[in-house]
Amino acid sequence: MIVFLIGYMGCGKSTVGEILANKIQYRFMDFDNYLEDSIGMSITETFKQKGEIFFRKQEYLHLEKLLELDHYVVALGGGTPCYGDNITRLTGANNAKVIYLKASVNTLTDRLYPEKSKRPLISHLDSKEALNDFIRKHLFERNYYYNQAQATINIDNLTPQQVADNIIEILS
């Protein structure tokens, strides 16, 4: 089985994914890091040099390869399930479980604001209020896809360990 973690940036997919993989003795993959290695440049540079359409095509192509794996926990990029038919491919795979790590807008704002300079999608936002508004709008657009996951965990007020334990309960 492959456990795919989806959700907005800052919800803890990579942190929880590593903990979960260790607990259930699966391998862990951060899909963004995998794409950067495969493409040969950072996601920020890929967006600048080749554009978002090129990047989304790469996501699509490499996602197909991931569906052939077994015993993996994969933290997907926040936008991965929202393009093309990616969410349908993920939820329709016999060997996959898709789990949405859901966080409130305020939790995401508090987590992302201190590190916004490292995130090209939000680096241009100059206040917490602007970031909050951006996240609110973006989540509205993406919730249709995120809500198609086979399970949802509200991560607000939970530690990454607790989120991983909740996922283990869902998987068993």
Write phi, then psi, for 85 (nearest 5 degrees). -105, 30
Answer yes or no: is 27 a known binding residue: no
Answer yes or no: is 89 a known binding residue: no
Answer yes or no: is 119 a known binding residue: yes
Answer yes or no: is 142 a known binding residue: yes
| CA geometry: angle 96, 29, 131, nearest 5 deg | 95
Answer yes or no: is 11 a known binding residue: yes
Please tell me what DSSP assigns to residue 80.
Answer: G
Answer yes or no: is 126 a known binding residue: no
DSSP string, 118-157: G-TTTTT--SHHHHHHHHHHHHHHHHHHHTTSSEEEE-TT
Answer yes or no: is 84 a known binding residue: no
Which residue from 146, 137, 153, 2 is spatially nearest to 81, judged by alpha carbons? 146
Answer yes or no: is 14 a known binding residue: yes
Token pair 């260790």: residue: 22
Answer yes or no: is 136 a known binding residue: no
Answer yes or no: is 15 a known binding residue: yes
Token pair 């996951």: residue: 149
Answer yes or no: is 13 a known binding residue: yes
Query: Would you list which residues are annotated within the binding site for ATP?
Result: 10-15, 119
Query: Would you list which residues are annotated within the binding site?
Result: 10-15, 32, 56, 78, 119, 142
Query: Would you list which residues are annotated within the binding site for Mg(2+)?
Result: 14
Query: Would you list which residues are annotated within the binding site for substrate?
Result: 32, 56, 78, 142
